[in-house]
Chains A and B, each alone.
Chain A
Amino acid sequence: MSFQVSKVNDVTLIEVEGQLIVGNRQELKQGVLDKLESGDLKFVIDFANTDYIDSSGLGVLVSLSKKIREQGGELRLSSLNEDLRTLFELTKLDTLFRIADDKEQALEGF
């Protein structure tokens, strides 16, 4: 798993490539927390190039969402494929996150 970080206006866009799983979730978590610590408050994590997220990966996203909200910020997700959408729906995490069809849609209206 790797991820690219960029800034679109005042939104931090994180584009994940590869699976987000128990073996690499801490890497993404720390990357986002570092940005949060440096003052970023608006985040979009895009999964256009991710085909699988395990329960640990889902847990990291939940944890990040909570920490970002505690700081007064917001985390949005985008570009979940059909399988990932199903995992979010099954676990009711689609009620916790604002999920956009693509990163452009996620970036709008921030």
Chain B
Amino acid sequence: MDGDLVLEIPTDIQSIAAAVDYVMSRCVSCQVKAQKLNLNFRVGLTEALSNAMMYGNGADPSKNVVVELVMGEDQLQATVRDQGVGFDPASVPDPTLPENVSRPCGRGLFLMRELLDEVSYNDQGNEVTLVLRLESGGAFEGSASA
């Protein structure tokens, strides 16, 4: 389908911004409200890539991350897959709890869930699928379930 792409990126945190910019450039023709696309999808994709590289691939430059973008009729879907052993997303604590707010980490997954309509992992935990629906509405609608 027009706009679909598959991107394989080496693990290099310096390349995340450029990779996200490229994926976003392929989304300009979709019907998601610009603000929702530019914040919700950009943040979600950036966090997914960062997690894949830093935690999934352990910052190992010999490992790659694969991004697949599918522009459906009513949704935008990105899948991010790393070469790591996977993890249990349920094990990540809620960073907004009072006892966790002062912790320096743990907000990436939370932001993905808050800003996207769907966030789901494969059984192994090394592949995440992000979905943003192409419906009208505020930029910050989301609250996906894992």
Chain A residues with a Cβ under 8 A of chain B: 19, 21-23, 52, 54-56, 58-60, 62-63, 66, 83, 86-87, 90-93, 95-96
Contacts and interface: CB of A to CB of B under 8 A. Distances in A.
Interface of B: 13-14, 16-17, 39, 42-43, 46-47, 50, 54, 95-96, 101-108, 110-111, 114-115, 139-140
B38 to A, nearest CB: 8
A66 B107 contact: no
Contacts of B13: 22-23
A107 to B, nearest CB: 25
Nearest to A90: B114
B104 A62 contact: yes
B16 A23 contact: yes
24 contacts: A21-B16, A21-B50, A22-B50, A23-B16, A23-B17, A54-B43, A54-B50, A55-B105, A55-B106, A55-B107, A55-B111, A56-B50, A60-B104, A62-B103, A62-B104, A86-B39, A86-B139, A86-B140, A90-B114, A91-B95, A91-B96, A92-B95, A95-B101, A96-B102
A22 B110 contact: no
A90 B104 contact: no
Contact of A91 (B46, B50, B107, B139): B107
